[in-house]
Amino acid sequence: MSFLLECLNLVKAYQTPGGKVEALRGVSLQVKPGEFVCVTGRSGSGKTTLLNCLGTLDLPTGGSILLNGQNCDRLSEKQLLEVRRHFLGFVFQQFFLVSYLSAAENIALPLVYQGYSWRNAVEKGVKILEKVGLLSHAHQPARFLSGGEAQRVAICRAISAEPKLLLADEPTGELDTATSASVIDLLKAQRIKGIGLLIVSHDPAIVQAADRVLRLEDGSLNQDTH
């Protein structure tokens, strides 16, 4: 079976005033379609750096990343943009919804950047919200959504362009237990469509729900607990 994501010996080093810091030291991992992989680790272990590199938001210092079999090293900025548009979806701890847009308009954003008309994109956003039971909030400005609602809208935004791989950084980090459960359910539901999930989290509920859990310590993936 081909991997959605495959990274080999990933290295990321930063130059700081105090010298060179290696955030990632030879990380290798794979994610298959429909697989739910959780990366856990202490604060400062390099989880977010790993996610940024895998999401093509940051350039690794060494190693290689293959997304859907394509080596990201060899892609131009324009091609990387196409990968982000059509292959990847992102979910963040702080949701990062655009406060002055409605829930449906936030979901429409990736589609608008792909060239959809505003009206069609928003209509699609409304349909996605209907599927996740948030239709009543479709035209509500994002700033008025509760934490759980905002995160579910953020997930809807991430999946609106029908990506193959969803990357999430502490998606339940700012939510209470009950709300976290609904967010985790929504994330897990994406697996049915063949979407692979790579989630960086401390949340035991996510760890519990994942097919595989990888522990990142000091920039190295040194165990697989599932």
Partner 1 sequence: MWRLAWKGAFSLKFRAFLVILGVAAGCFSLTAMGAMAFHFHKLASRFESAVGGKIFIRERSGFFGAGAIDEQQLLQLKKEPGVSDVIPLMVARLHAHEIFVIGFPEITLGIPLEKIPSLLKDVSFLWGRYPENPEECLLGINIATQEGMHPDSFEYEGKKFRVAGVLARTNGPEDEEMILPLSSLQAVLGRHRLVSYGVVIPQNENQADTLAETLGQKYTLWQVVPPSLLSREIKKSAVLWNFLTLGTGVLSAFIGGILILVVMMMAVRERIKEIAVSSIVGASRFQIFMGFILESLFLSFWGSLIGLTAGFSAVTMANGIFAKQGIILFEPNLKLIGYAFVLSIGLSLFGGFYPAWYGASLEPAEALRR
Tell how strand 220-224 and strand 70-71 pair up.
Answer: unpaired
Rank residues 28 and 94 by Cβ distance to partner 1 and give the closer one: 94
Taking Cα atoms as reference points, which of 24, 37, 9 lies closest to residue 206?
Answer: 37
CB of 82 to partner 1, least distance (A): 9
CB of 81 to partner 1, least distance (A): 6
Helix, strand, or coil here: 116? coil
> What one-character DSSP code corresponds to residue 117?
-
> Minimum distance between the CB of residue 52 and partner 1, rounded to whole angstroms?
5
Of 129 and 161, which CB lies nearer to partner 1 in the complex structure? 161
Closest to partner 1 by CB, 40 vs 102, is 102
CB of 48 to partner 1, least distance (A): 9
* φ, ψ dihedrals at 133, nearest 5°: 75, 25
Select 4 or 158, whichever has its Cβ closest to partner 1.
158
Q: How far is the CB of 133 from partner 1 (least distance, A)?
A: 23
Residues at the contact surface with partner 1, assessed by CB under 8 A: 52, 55, 57-58, 78, 81, 84-85, 90, 92, 94, 96, 98-101, 105, 109-110, 112-114, 118, 157-158, 161
Tokens of 102: 């409605």
State which residue, 36 or 90, has the beta carbon closest to partner 1: 90
Please, which residue, 51 or 206, has the CB nearer to partner 1?
Answer: 51
Where does the chain show beta strands of DSSP type E?
5-16, 19-31, 36-40, 62-67, 70-71, 88-91, 165-169, 196-200, 212-217, 220-224
CB of 193 to partner 1, least distance (A): 18
Contact 125, 103 (CB under 8 A): yes
Residue keyed to tokens 């994002």: 142
Residue 204, by phi and psi: left (phi above 0), alpha (psi -120 to 50) or beta?
alpha
